[in-house]
Amino acid sequence: MRAVVVRDRNLVVEERADPEPGSHEVAIRVRAAGLNGADMLQRQGRYPAPPGSPPDIPGLELAGTVARLGPAATRFAEGDRVMAVVGGGGQAEMAVVHERGLMRAPEALGWPEAGGAAEVLTTAHDALFTQAGLQPGERLLVHGAAGGVGTAAVQLGRAAGARVVATVRNAELRDGVAALGATVIAPEGFEQHGPFDVVLELVGAPNMVANVAALESRGRIVVIGVGGGAKAELNLLALMGKRGRISASTLRARSLEDKADAMRRVERHVLPLIETGSITVPVAATYPLEAAAEAYDRFTAGGKLGKVVLTMDA
């Protein structure tokens, strides 16, 4: 198989041996694999893959067809269309995934959309519902809403009956995010649009003081991304006064059990909404596997609506 490989902070496409599925594993012929911020950090040597994942092949999400089953794998059959959240190794023509780390790829999604769906839908669903317990009628604020996780979160919030406000710094992308179901505002002075029951923080520390100020009583802030900074100084008295809660998490480092639990929730609650077209996966650009370096440059440049995805031949 061909795979994207990080070598000395550069990306090269190399021939590698096809991986063999173990007992409960499944070999996937990958058709598309989304890029994520974690891949950019891994390329820079700042985010090593967790144990059990290929150390030098990036890629946290993929979609493709089941090529071969491990001896004890029973959840899927050869030829099934599937999507996966993986700790690494997604950006290759073949990948081996534990069967519990897979979910079916809805027919409503083409390969690029399916390839860019699993990580962002699972991350957004876990943050909004499992962590923050978002309820119908509540006011949700999504920061950094034009990216992969943000466009997923806006749509999930709207589909759940929440009233969604989204900050988008790039004025050219605001109409696109509004079309997904949010009232879109510039990041500056966002707290004047509160109060919010739930804040999904995808940018990081610079927003945290104003997030607390804009929190509704018993509000919840969920920190998922810290690209804008990781250190904030907060007035805890203000948080106490709101009876507020801050939680934070990463998906990549979780155990198979925890990831599988989050994915089963996506299967149950999100895939049906994709089938009906209520939730889409916006893809800003696709690149063939051999143009991975260009794809990474496009991701890093920002100013995109949704995902950047690598595609592989059948």
Ligand X SMILES: NC(=O)c1ccc[n+]([C@@H]2O[C@H](COP(=O)([O-])OP(=O)(O)OC[C@H]3O[C@@H](n4cnc5c(N)ncnc54)[C@H](OP(=O)(O)O)[C@@H]3O)[C@@H](O)[C@H]2O)c1
Q: Which of 3, 28, 30, 36 binds ligand X (CB under 6 A)?
A: 36
CB 258 to ligand X: min, Å:
11
User: Do the Cβ atoms of 154 and 182 come closer than 8 Å?
Assistant: yes
Of 200, 203, 239, 309, the one binding ligand X by CB under 6 A? 203
Number of residues that bind ligand X (CB under 6 A): 27
Nearest to 184 by CA among 137, 141, 139: 141
Which string of x and - marks every residue 212-251 that binds ligand X (by CB under 6 A)? ------------xx-xx--------------------xxx
Helical residues (DSSP H) of the chain, grouped into ranges: 37-43, 111-115, 118-125, 148-159, 174-178, 208-213, 236-241, 256-269, 271-275, 292-301
**Least CB distance to ligand X at residue 32 (A):** 16
Q: Is 272 in the site for ligand X (CB under 6 A)?
A: no
Residue 177 lies near ligand X (rule: CB under 6 A): no
- ∠80-313-277 over CA atoms, to 5°? 55
Among 37, 59, 90, 115, binds ligand X (CB under 6 A): 37
Provide the minimum distance between the beta carbon of 158 and ligand X in the complex, in angstroms, as a whole number: 17
| Part in contact with ligand X (CB under 6 A); list of ranges 14-22, 30-38, 64-72, 104-112 | 30-38
Binding segment for ligand X (CB under 6 A), chosen from 5-13, 25-33, 211-219, 296-304, is: 296-304
Residue facing ligand X at closest CB distance? 147
Q: Binding string, 123-152, against ligand X, x = CB under 6 A? A: x--------------------x-xxxxx--
Is residue 63 within 8 Å of 286, Cβ to Cβ?
no
* Angstrom distance (rounded) from CA 79 to CA 90: 18
Q: Which residue has the tokens 């696109």?
A: 176
Footprint on residues 180-199 left by ligand X (CB under 6 A): 187
- If the CB atoms of residues 120 and 182 are measured against ligand X, the closer one turns out to be 120
CB 74 within 8 A of CB 99: yes
> What Å distances lie between residue 45 and 7, 40, 86, CA to CA?
10, 9, 18
Closest distance of CB 22 from ligand X, Å: 25
The CB density around residue 165, as the number of other CB atoms within 10 Å, is 23
Q: Which is nearer to ligand X, 122 or 311 (CB)?
A: 122
Token pair, residue 262, equals 């989050």
Helices (H), 103-217: 111-115, 118-125, 148-159, 174-178, 208-213
Tally of CA atoms within 13 A in the half-sphere of 273 that contains its CB: 19
Kindly state the smallest distance separating residue 240's Cβ from ligand X, in Å: 26
Q: List residues near ligand X by CB under 6 A.
A: 36-38, 119-120, 123, 144, 146-150, 169-170, 187, 202-203, 224-225, 227-228, 249-251, 302-304
